[in-house]
Structure 1
Amino acid sequence: MARTLAIVGGGWAGCAAAVQGIDEGHDVTLIEMARHLGGRARRVDVEGYPLDNGQHILIGAYTETLRLMRQVGVKTTLQLLRMPLRVGYPDGSGLFLEPGAAVPAFVRAVLKHASWRWGEKLALLRSCAVWLVGGFRARRGQTVAQLCARLPKRVRDELIDPLCVAALNTPADQACATVFLRVLRDALFNGRGSSDLLLPRSDLSALFPESAGQWLLDAGATVRRGERVMELAPDGAGWRLDGARYDAVILACSPSEAARLAQPVAPQWAACADALPFEPIITVYARGSGTRLPQPIMALHANDAAPAQFVFDLGQLQGPQGLLAFVISGAAPWAARGPEAAGQAVLAQAELALGRYFRPPLRLVRTMMEKRATFLCTPGLSRPPAQIAPRLWAAGDYVQGPYPATLEGAVRSGVQAARRAFS
């Protein structure tokens, strides 16, 4: 008889755990509090169009995410626009990788960078060589700003800082250098295509969670939506959720919800999960008639008055024509000012940086703020372990691991929890 496995939470980690649980031969029940699957990476409606609560980028190094997407029937070649890594600015400057092996493509892109001086290019390549030879290890407690302090300011401003805040959702002066180097290693110094950008051509719910939900039903799993688990209690070698017994349980819900359920049985784990600091992300949707950017994604120069670091042209990603999504990562200062101030600042920033691409002026459509988008990825941050107790596991982008709060981190944690659920 198959052993019973309950997964609490239907975000990307929970869906990954459920799919892997079926592969392991378990009798899987997935319980999601909301009416939809997807968690923080899900669909919302903007002017009647199915868009997202925030923009997400996948990269070629997201091997587990891509594997599971294909397993549940997602046609990744159609639903993801694959393009070489580009950190390009409206003035035409930037770092543009060519297709091919990541390391030589990166070196060529740095050497061809039009606006950097030779000293700046060589300084970056020299630092990357040092990181490579050193195994991409940073000093204990080191921030990204400290790691890159000797790099020229223009390299830091135009490449390091945008990559850091995009990958870790944490400003460079606070971000953990160890995690940043791990991301660089897997993306820029890995196999062919690892650094490629994979831009969703569908909303995030359709990209994986909805397909996973249907796949689970077809595979005989139970998927219950709109139910909040109120109580977790031990029962011999297994666990009870609101009275129903399971041989093993994976808590793939938010850290606060997992802490609430785990507190009676694992108070130290719950305290660690509850103590995690979080950083918001703000997405500003704006629209202009006839608007089309030179690339589907562009970097922007951000400062105290210009908050957005990246802009997506959703018209090039099967979204409505003329709709742009501006992303403010590491958004705590702008969250404190409020969504209206952030939206107006982005419109002013867009007029200065992108005004040549639209007439009449952009119209503000919607400003969305995810207050607890990711944990603040600082040096020495104490993240809760994946195992809470025997046969009780946590899955999510916040559990202990080498990655920041990304879709790949969430998926990998779900897969590992399902594989080890009965240990």
Structure 2
Amino acid sequence: MGSPRRIAVVGGGWAGLAAAVEATSRGHAVTLIEMAPQLGGRARSLAAEAGHARLDNGQHILIGAYVATLALMRRVGVDPDTVLLRMPLTLVDASGQGLRLGRGPVLLAFTRAVWAMGHWRWRERLALSNAALGWLLKGFRCDDRWTVALLTQSLPERVRREFIDPLCVAALNTPARDASAAVFLRVLRDALFAGPGSSDLLVPRRPLAELLPEPAAAWLKANGADLRLGRRAQSLSHRPDGRAGWSLDDEPFDQVVLACSASEAARLTATIAPDWSQRAAAFGYEPIITAYIQADGARLAAPMVALPEGPMAPAQFAFDHGALGAQPGRFAYVISGAATWVERGLDTTAAAALAQARASLRDVAPEQVRLIKLVAEKRATFLCLPGLQRPPTHIAPALTAAGDHIDGPYPATLEGAVRSGLAAVVG
């Protein structure tokens, strides 16, 4: 650890919170600047509305392999076992049919789970087992130019439709026809083969704000950090006194961490580091839409179920909040890779999601199923395309970047954001 320094963290999402906690832990004087009125970025809780429990800006899940995220939660006083429901990887449909990963050695457990899918033909089960073994033997690597569709084109159509496609859009928020196969395989490697519990699903029991943003804010304040919400960083330049460091809105800092969105970081660095700025500005984005449904007395076959997607069935997954230990009768229908539905309009999307919920929640009358709120995060994640060149952590001396868009092994995930935030604090 070097001498204490003044460090500014621009952005209060999960990457910015990770950077701020890490810098504060190292004894630095931290100022965190966030343009929104609340912390959390694209994994935040919305303001509570009259008559309803607090909702999130979208349904998020973690997995057991998110070791950095879980460690950060513990560091600020959150017990992951209390706020998250841990369950083995389960990818089942509304009737309860599908893959259920058991305990034990992962390769053996995965093989058993595949062969236990009795509703598949034996050729379909054999094809997926052989494909997984082939990816393992190749070290989960492939040509960087390949898409997931190209990687899996030899698999039976049912395997792609019921396993590959929903898993790809859940992990990368990019349809298989466009998604990077190399990143998809890295996710599979770390989720399925990184050790016991790595593939477990960790589904929030509590609002996202209680998982990290609010506890981290309390921890930072208790440890002397300066949190400035509702303020947008306007300018970044070299210090006029010629000393090392940066001037952020005419305030001097020894180091600046840009943990804001890629577009904001590109704006702030346009004249300082034009090449880095251009790369950060070049991302394409994919939206995610979440339809919150209330249906008192209804249940799903599992806390999370996969849904058949279709022209008027937009959601790929549904979550039963009652089964998660949250509010009974509340459900989240998640539409990943939602660009086409944004184009069709949110009213059309809301009507389609409600119809889909009424069709899948068959143990209550249709009129008992109602839409509470439709939440559209239009820049939820970057498009995870083959060969995508993401900007690096280092921008210039004492100037670094953090966020799920920064170069790393993962797609746009909470774990990628947290790891980048930790890595952005230098010294």
TM-score range, shorter chain: over 0.9
Give the Cα separation in 2 of the matches to 1:306 and 1:174: 21
**Does the CA contact (< 8 Å) of 1:165 and 1:329 recur in 2?**
yes
More displaced stretch, 297-306 vs 49-58: 297-306
1:321 to 317, 328, 347: 328
Secondary structure of 1:316's match?
Answer: coil
Other-structure match for 1:243: 250
Q: 1:62 to 1:173 in 2, by over 3 A?
A: same
Give the Cα separation in 1 of the matches to 2:314 and 2:224: 47
Q: Deviations over 1:232-253 (max 9, x none)?
A: 0112320111111111110001
2:12 to 10, 16, 22: 10
| 2:228 pairs with 1:211 | no
Structure 2 counterparts to residues 320-399 of structure 1, below 5 A: 320-356=327-363, 360-399=367-406
Other-structure match for 1:28: 30
Give the TM-score taking structure 1 as reference length: 0.96
Structure 2 counterparts to residues 3-402 of structure 1, below 5 A: 3-44=5-46, 45=48, 47-235=51-239, 236-356=243-363, 360-402=367-409
Task: Give 2:284's aligned amino acid.
Answer: P
**Does the CA contact (< 8 Å) of 1:43 and 1:205 recur in 2?**
yes
Q: Deviations over 1:28-81 (max 9, x none)?
A: 221111221101111113553112010000000000000000111001111000
Secondary structure of 1:315's match?
Answer: coil
**Does the CA contact (< 8 Å) of 1:95 and 1:109 recur in 2?**
yes
Give the TM-score taking structure 2 as reference length: 0.95
Secondary structure of 1:356's match?
Answer: coil
**Does the CA contact (< 8 Å) of 1:288 and 1:358 recur in 2?**
no
Give the Cα separation in 2 of the matches to 1:399 and 1:292: 39
Secondary structure of 1:190's match?
Answer: coil
Task: Give 1:142's aligned amino acid.
Answer: W
Q: Deviations over 1:211-270 (max 9, x none)?
A: 111111112222222221111011232011111111111000111111111112111211
Tell me the CA shift for residue 12 of structure 1: 0.2
Tell me the CA shift for residue 137 of structure 1: 0.6
The runs of 5 or more residues in structure 2 that have no matched partner are none
Q: Deviations over 1:262-314 (max 9, x none)?
A: 11211121111111000000001111121222221111011222110000111
Task: Give 2:7's aligned amino acid.
Answer: L
Q: Which runs of 4+ in 1 moved over 3 A?
A: 356-361
Give the Cα separation in 2 of the matches to 1:376 and 1:352: 31
**Does the CA contact (< 8 Å) of 2:384 and 2:411 recur in 1?**
yes
Tell me the CA shift for residue 317 of structure 1: 2.7
Identity %: 55
Q: Deviations over 1:69-115 (max 9, x none)?
A: 01110011110000001011012211011233432221110111121
Give the Cα separation in 1 of the matches to 2:209 and 2:145: 37
Q: Deviations over 1:92-150 (max 9, x none)?
A: 21101123343222111011112111111111111111111111111131000000001
Secondary structure of 1:66's match?
Answer: helix
More displaced stretch, 86-95 vs 57-66: 86-95
**Does the CA contact (< 8 Å) of 2:291 and 2:353 recur in 1?**
yes
Task: Give 1:226's aligned amino acid.
Answer: G
Give the Cα separation in 1 of the matches to 2:201 and 2:91: 11
Task: Give 2:220's aligned amino acid.
Answer: L
Tell me the CA shift for residue 415 of structure 1: 0.6
Task: Give 2:381's aligned amino acid.
Answer: T
Secondary structure of 1:171's match?
Answer: coil
Task: Give 2:216's aligned amino acid.
Answer: A
Give the Cα separation in 2 of the matches to 1:352 and 1:217: 48
**Does the CA contact (< 8 Å) of 1:202 and 1:317 recur in 2?**
no
Give the Cα separation in 2 of the matches to 1:24 and 1:102: 37
Tell me the CA shift for residue 351 of structure 1: 2.7
**Does the CA contact (< 8 Å) of 1:14 and 1:414 recur in 2?**
yes
Task: Give 2:19's aligned amino acid.
Answer: A
Secondary structure of 1:364's match?
Answer: strand
